[in-house]
Structure 1
Amino acid sequence: MSKFIPFTEDEIYQAAHTDIKSILEAKGEKAERSGTEWMWAANHSVKFRGHIFYDHSTGDKGTAIDFLCTFFNMRFQDAVSTLNCRDYNGIEFERSTLKKEKERRPLVLPAKSRNMKRVYAYLMQERRIDSDIISFFAHNRSLYESANTHNAVFVGYDSTDKARAAHQKGTLTEKSYRGDVNGSEKDYFFNFHGGSERLYVFEAPIDLLSFITLHKEKGWQKHNYLALGCTASPALLRFLSEYPNIHQVVLCLDNDGAGVKADAIIQETLQRLSKGMYVEDLTEEIREQLRRPYEVSVLKSVKKDWNDDLKKR
């Protein structure tokens, strides 16, 4: 049983602001780059920037202290002691502020292939996406095939039509690959702005394309569509701040534990924002931009995700 230690506020603050990458490296673990973030090599669902982590499979998130408690089964007392180097054989960790993480490399999109044969074949034959939908996003410059790897590249634009992020998905079925392009900003992900008051929200770009294929009808282009790239809400809040006319949010996340958990978190966040209440990590200015009534609904696939439904149709 852990011995109680009366930590000061400064000691807890220092422990919480320990760089998670340095923690993993001190424990003999590896971290890999994933766009502007880092990814735990042994658990790809866990991403982190500085001292903040997020587990895309469970929705767990927090500081370096929470990281040790969640993944290394430590008690709070032990985690703070370890991060302050009291019982870690003198190993010193790096201290982190997210200001340092903002110094990112500029986004350089992968070179385009002369055609999209591999992407069309993969999305149509393997994923069953409608060819007209693929062509629509290709002509919209949101989807193309990379020249060297022939990956499908999904590009995220801001409201000024500037590319801010890109996600690659491999087209070889026997060797699955996915990853963000270096320099990508996680708040900007694959999306389409049609101009209506309704926004459909998904986890992944292929889920988004699958949903449109399943519900393809005249006028679908008038609505808005966004892939989060995870189950967290930063990309959603950014999209809503850029398009203040959106009041209807339809959550179409995966039909699994993480998706259901994220539904509840996002609904609560939007409810708090509609009332002008405090939301963690958002400035007062951003909260004021997002303060408006929201009509939030949840739409679930029958199977795990919308592409599973499409392939089963």
Structure 2
Amino acid sequence: MAKHVSADQVEVARNVDLIDYLERKGEPLKKEGRYYRHQVHDSLVIKDQLYAWNSRDEKGAGVINFAKMFYGMSFPEAVLDLNAQGYKVKDNVQEQKPKAPYQYPSHYEVNDKTKAKDYLTKERKIHPRIVDWLDNKDLIAQDKLGNVVFKWKQQGEIVGADRQGTSPMKDGRIFKGIDRDSHGSAGFSVDIGKPNSIYLFESPIDALSYWSIKREKLQNTRLVSMSGLKRQTMINEIKRMGKEGHKVNHITFCTDNDKAGTEFANKYQNLLANSLSHIDISKKKDWNEDLKNRLEQFKHVKHPYFSRGS
């Protein structure tokens, strides 16, 4: 195992283009706008020398750090590997301009939300009264492509948005994305009453599914989507509650029932006092699967779930 590398070798390694490095290693990458997405680990996205593996809460910059994170290399091993193949040198980094503030593209909305509402209630089984409430609060919309838009609102201002496709694309996948320039540590959130607790989810759909299941029980709660597993979103929401004059009495981790979701919940619960935190992971893959499974039990029984008066 390599124990020492020279300063010159480190400099060469640091200047290797990350995309060229991964493509020549055979990693399946697909360009999506300004980003590249890994086709096996589809929550791993790369832009220039920056990377984010959202399902594992891994974010960073630089090809050496990526090699250590993704391939499990030591620092010397990563440096030597990056020196070995004559990889392309990254483009000179131009002076970075300040990030433009998010501007919600309201002109892209359509008045008729039928497709979005049908998707939420019929495909995802979100309770219709919840969907109507979100519509009345201007927290959801439909865009010109038929996507559901989940607006990230803070103090009445839209600071970002998730977009969820309602039908398959040509490659069979369902579109899922976050608007460009969305506030990096914000997320879709809903207040039920005057919140004194935070419930954390991996997506807006999961948050609304949980609300549909526990509609009669949730009170004085803020449901927050991290759009993945994002530590900074959790921290941001705790700070925001304080700024808004709400005391946080309780935090519940409602992540997916998989390795990444469980590890995230356990990791951050251990950093909080037991009296302050709780884990409520779905029985199925995620909370939407739980919701659908519960409703399937009433398939042959007349059930008031889909009555808007219930």
Q: Please state which band the TM-score falls in when normalised by the shorter chain.
A: 0.7 to 0.9
Aligned counterpart in structure 2 of residue 145 of structure 1, from 142, 146, 156: 142
Distance 1:145 1:54 in 2: 28
The answer as to 2:194 corresponding to 1:167 is no
Aligned counterpart in structure 1 of residue 125 of structure 2, from 105, 124, 128: 128
Paired residue type of 1:308 = E
Q: CA deviation at 1:208?
A: 0.4
Distance change in 2, residues 1:7/1:247 (3 Å)? farther
Aligned counterpart in structure 1 of residue 262 of structure 2, from 260, 263, 284: 260
Distance change in 2, residues 1:23/1:58 (3 Å)? same
Q: CA deviation at 1:39?
A: 4.2
Q: Any residues of structure 2 matched to 1:1-313 within 5 Å, and which?
A: 2-8=1-7, 20-21=18-19, 23-24=21-22, 30=29, 32=31, 38-42=35-39, 43-48=41-46, 51-63=49-61, 64-72=63-71, 74-83=73-82, 86-89=83-86, 91-94=88-91, 100=96, 103-104=99-100, 106-109=102-105, 111-146=108-143, 148-158=144-154, 160-172=155-167, 175-194=173-192, 195-217=194-216, 220=218, 222-244=220-242, 245-270=247-272, 295-313=276-294
Q: CA deviation at 1:30?
A: 4.6
| Higher strand residue share | 2
Distance change in 2, residues 1:82/1:237 (3 Å)? same
Contact 1:50 1:96 in 2 (8 A): no
Stretches of structure 1 that go unaligned for 5 or more consecutive residues are 272-292
Stretches of structure 2 that go unaligned for 5 or more consecutive residues are 295-310
Distance change in 2, residues 1:257/1:17 (3 Å)? farther
Contact 1:39 1:45 in 2 (8 A): no
Distance 2:167 2:87 in 1: 46
Contact 1:56 1:231 in 2 (8 A): yes
1:234-257 Cα offsets, whole Å, 9 max, x none, are 111111111112231011001111
Contact 2:99 2:181 in 1 (8 A): no
Q: CA deviation at 1:26?
A: 7.2
Q: Percent identity?
A: 22
When structure 1 is superposed on structure 2, of 112-121 and 126-135 the one drifting more is 112-121
Aligned residues: 282
Distance change in 2, residues 1:247/1:127 (3 Å)? same
Q: CA deviation at 1:212?
A: 0.4
1:153-197 Cα offsets, whole Å, 9 max, x none, are 011112x22111111111115651111122212311110234321
TM-score by length of 2: 0.77
Q: RMSD of the alignment, in Å?
A: 3.3
